[in-house]
Amino acid sequence: MTPGGTSRADRISSGPEIGQSPPTPALQIGPRLRRARLASHLTLEDVARLTGLTKGFISQLERDMTSASVASLVKLCGALHISVGALFEPASTSLTRSKEAPCINFGGTGLHEVLLTPRGSSDLQIIRSVIEPGGGSGDEPYGLDTKTEVAYVLEGELLVALDGEEYLLAEGDTLTFSAQVPHAWRNPSKRHRAVAFWILAPSPW
């Protein structure tokens, strides 16, 4: 107790003293922990089993409803295969101008492709493909070492062969599938080009 019967804890909770700057708000790490867990394809139960922490505590931490000790954070980051420092890195924002998007070449014929997301991005990759009539990925199906692939047709048509089925996508259509399933695609038109966006999560490269 301090003179006058006021404890130090009371004075801290009542706000900063005159002449002092207000405390810096704590960085919210919950959303980053949740993104890292989902990127590792782990459930709350999985992380609880790996760390010895309770599912309820981890859930509250992901929603920034509680705080964690250093030891708990070390356990969580170890289970999620990230560094503790990654939780406190400033959020990055990247702008890719249409004319500045780098060209890429993953094979195929009759294609002009550009990468719309940063090269170092691990969470997501977006590719824009301009596909000439008859062009495409080639006859041999392929799979990718990532979880989800999305094809969105902006212009023209796209024929996707996937797991023994063929899907003819028209302008505005979206196809979502497992990227690991062998697939191939092409522009079936003999006269008109197609423009498609490929979204891969997480990024395979």
Domain end, chosen from 88, 114, 129, is at: 88
Instruction: State the average pLDDT for the chain.
Output: 85
Residue 193 has pLDDT above 50, yes or no: yes
Kindly state whether residues 110 and 129 are assigned to the same domain. Answer: yes
Kindly state whether residues 141 and 64 are assigned to the same domain. Answer: no
The total number of structural domains that make up the chain: 2
Cis peptide before 182 (omega within 30 of 0): no
Kindly state whether residues 102 and 197 are assigned to the same domain. Answer: yes
Range of the domain at 179: 98-201
Kindly state whether residues 178 and 153 are assigned to the same domain. Answer: yes
Give the mean pLDDT of 57-64. Answer: 93
Kindly state whether residues 77 and 133 are assigned to the same domain. Answer: no
Q: Are 177 and 183 in contact (CB under 8 A)?
A: yes
Domain end, chosen from 58, 88, 118, is at: 88
Residue 51 has pLDDT above 80, yes or no: yes
Kindly state whether residues 82 and 112 are assigned to the same domain. Answer: no
Residue 4 CB burial class (10 angstroms; 0-12, 13-18, ≥19): exposed
pLDDT recorded at residue 4: 45
Residue 101 has pLDDT above 80, yes or no: yes
Kindly state whether residues 113 and 142 are assigned to the same domain. Answer: yes
Two tokens at 72?
A: 């708990």
pLDDT recorded at residue 46: 95
Beta bridge partners of 109: 136
Q: Are 33 and 72 in contact (CB under 8 A)?
A: no
Residue 131 lies in a domain: yes
Least confident of 105-109, 133-137, 175-179, 191-195: 105-109
Kindly state whether residues 83 and 109 are assigned to the same domain. Answer: no
Kindly state whether residues 63 and 121 are assigned to the same domain. Answer: no
Kindly state whether residues 108 and 194 are assigned to the same domain. Answer: yes
CATH number at residue 35: 1.10.260.40
Two tokens at 204?
A: 């395979």
